[in-house]
Amino acid sequence: MAAHSSCTIGEGPRRRHAPGIRQAGFTLFELILTVTILGILTAFAVPSYTRLMANQQAKSASTALYMAMVKARSEAIKRNVNITIGANAGGWQSGWTLQDLTNSAGVNIDAETALNGVTVTTNPSGLTSLVYQSSGRISATTYPQIVFTASNWPSAQYCVSADLGGRPYSTNGSSC
């Protein structure tokens, strides 16, 4: 007769470990549970992240124009000349340039390159430049409004405007 082992039917041989050594690692169930939870959290996080990035693109573009308007107003007063903020060829989303146009060559003071991920609308429609007079006031009869909208999240909008006294301001939303 064959020798009997201590195993019962359906059980394999038991592994024996050295005393005091604990086995480490994850079970397959724990791994699957963890991956499932991470998948669910990611499904909730991605739309929020997309919205955050779109909002930041619109806000960054509007802040850049706001700062250009502050600089143009300051330069107009300091130099005692008119300073123009003009949209680049292709419109405001292609960037803009601050210029002192008092001489025929025109002096570039500052420039902004093309804006990524935003569309730009203006009020009045077709607005391509803002002129700050030497007094710091805007040379216009209406308040100019430039609205930056995130291309992939249309509700992410920021509006930049200036009162006729020349003071620029920026607000969240499609109107100033």
Domain borders along the chain are 53-172
For residues 139 and 112, what is the distance between their CA atoms, to the nearest angstrom? Answer: 22
Which class for 1: exposed (0-12), middle (13-18), buried (19 or more C-beta within 10 A)?
exposed
The domain defined by 53-172 folds into minor pseudopilin epsh fold (3.55.40)
Q: And the tokens for 34?
A: 């963890």
The pLDDT tens digits of the residues spanning 13-47 come to 566 656 666 767 888 899 999 999 999 988 888 88
- The arithmetic mean of pLDDT across residues 146-164, rounded, is 92
Q: What are φ and ψ of residue 70, in 5° steps?
A: -60, -45
- Give tens-digit pLDDT for 42-79: 888 888 888 888 899 999 999 999 999 999 999 999 99
pTM above 0.85, yes or no: no
Phi, psi of 37 (to 5 degrees): -65, -45
| Pairing state between β 96-100 and 145-150 | unpaired
